[in-house]
Amino acid sequence: MKFCYFDESGMGNEPYLVMAGIIVDASRMHITKDAWADFLKYLSEAAGRRVDEFHAREFYRGNGVWHGTDGAMRAKIIEAILTWVEARKHKCVFSSIDKDRFKVTINKDIRLKRFKSMWCTAAIHCVLQIQKQHQKLEKTKGHSLLIFDREVMEEPTLSLLIHKPPQWIDTYYDRGKKQTALDQIVDVPFFANSKHILLAQIADLFAYILRTSAEIQDGLLNEKYEGEGKRMQTWSKRIASVALPSASRYPTRGRCEAASLFWDLAPSTIRELKK
């Protein structure tokens, strides 16, 4: 059984939206949850007050409970989180959308109209990557459980898309003639407050780093300090190193129409990201 925890960054006025997910094997769930609880305790000590959840934006910019925390200390904590994920051999998945490109495309592409929103589009892209990769494993049918941060307006649409997926996405994972659609996914997705989903908070951090790095590289966001872009790129490559293969995310060759749609919507800085 695989548990996949998702969160996103860029739901405001940012030019890009990025959704990321942390994939954890059920056999390691108990150890992971205990370790993350200890990690929150460590963050509380660093902040000088109790920290029940971890929001990347507040943490990275030194806002909220992190106000006054030294920037070098915050960078050290991010490095520690990345090392923590790497050491536990967790995998991640991510999808990205150029918002302006999406707004233009949805007006002329009936496929996107079925998804209705950027959030659902990124979510389905992540689901397809998981389906494509996990179906290669033995005896994993229906063993990937999806848990998203609560998005009340999006829940009915995403649940329906997974319950009754459009046929045109079948080519993304080379669905067989006798294969049930999205057969790696457990029933319908679950939704909960990220405060109660500790691993979703890591997904939040990953999404924030990927988005911010891409926006700086593309000249859409100014550096807050000298060298920020380079540091973000380094962290992004570490995230890519624990992600599902790029061929499952943004294949550079032999793309079907479904894969081409997600490719065309993504900022090049993210779709071409390699470890």
**Which of 153, 149, 109, 151 is CA-nearest to residue 262?**
109
Element (H, E) at 238: helix 228-241
Q: How far is CA 47 from CA 60, 81, 129, 241, in A?
A: 13, 16, 36, 29
Pairwise CA distance, residues 57 & 202, whole Å: 12
| C-alpha closest to that of 54 among 2, 7, 120, 122 | 7
Q: Which residues of the chain have pLDDT under 70?
A: 139-142, 195-196
Q: How far is CA 20 from CA 173, 199, 257, in A?
A: 19, 11, 23
Exposed (0-12), middle (13-18) or buried (19+): which is 102, by Cβ within 10 Å?
buried
**Residue 141: predicted pLDDT:** 61
Sheet holding 144-149, edge to edge: 91-98, 16-25, 2-9, 144-149, 190-192
* CA gap 80, 65 in Å, rounded: 19
Tell me what pLDDT residue 222 has: 96
Q: What is the pLDDT of residue 196?
A: 63
